[in-house]
């Protein structure tokens, strides 16, 4: 029985998600897997706003290329990072049970933020919703991994940062949350909180092995959300959120 190679980005959260898949796969099938870290374009261009980088799939393109080049067997993604148009030679046999879909604030609650407080997020969707609620805030584009963003709050460079609750939960950092934002305040991104595993279409063995990790309820919701995203031609450059 072959050892599967799981491709992932190098952030703490991405590696946590890949390790989660590795453990779930072993628990369900007894199959061993190893983690292969791959740097994506989105990881390399940490200081440029996502709008300026442009293009779709900046966090997954290199992973998909590694799949097609057969240097890895599986790729683990946050569903919200996956464009609606993916290569025809690749499939998603597993969409795992979804985590919390909500956004949250770290550093301060929304009500306690002073006028002109500097708040960071890289998401146009989050910026648009925060700007609607608190037009007096100084919203700044903030790139970097979760740990980098938290350090900027600790240092006082930012008074708060807006993040995905699921990401903080997975990293064991839920205690850092100052306020959980309801979907009525901040609608989540398409696929937020969900993890998907991608493999080659022709690799039916890997697809079958991933089947136990698939959660049908989450898959159904993600398919519907992504269909709407596609119809609206949405992506990182469109501030689109959906009610859960």
Rg over alpha carbons for the chain, rounded to the nearest Å, is: 18
Residue among 43, 73, 81, 100 flagged as catalytic: 81
Whether residue 81 lies in the annotated active site: yes
Active site members: 81
């Amino acid at each position: 029985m072959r050892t599967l190679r799981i491709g992932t980005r190098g952030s703490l959260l991405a590696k946590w998600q890949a390790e989660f898949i590795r453990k779930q796969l072993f628990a369900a099938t007894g199959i061993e897997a190893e983690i292969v870290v791959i740097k994506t374009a989105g990881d390399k261009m940490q200081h440029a706003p996502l709008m300026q980088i442009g293009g779709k799939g900046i966090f997954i393109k290199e992973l998909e290329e590694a799949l097609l080049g057969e240097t890895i067997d599986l790729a683990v993604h946050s569903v919200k990072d996956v464009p609606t148009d993916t290569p025809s030679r690749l499939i998603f046999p597993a969409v795992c049970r979804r985590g919390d879909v909500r956004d949250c604030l770290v550093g301060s609650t929304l009500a306690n933020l002073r006028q002109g407080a500097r708040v960071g997020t890289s998401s146009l969707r989050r910026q648009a919703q925060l700007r609607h609620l608190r037009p007096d805030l100084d919203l700044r584009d903030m790139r970097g991994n979760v740990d980098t963003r938290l350090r900027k709050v600790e240092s006082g460079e930012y008074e708060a940062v807006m993040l995905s609750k699921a990401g903080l939960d997975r990293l064991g950092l839920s205690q850092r949350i100052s306020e959980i934002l309801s979907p009525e305040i901040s609608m989540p991104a398409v696929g937020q909180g969900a993890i998907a595993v991608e493999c080659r279409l022709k690799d039916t063995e890997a697809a079958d092995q991933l089947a136990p990790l698939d959660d049908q309820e989450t898959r159904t919701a993600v398919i519907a959300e992504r269909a709407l995203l596609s119809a609206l031609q949405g992506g990182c450059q469109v501030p689109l959120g959906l009610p859960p």
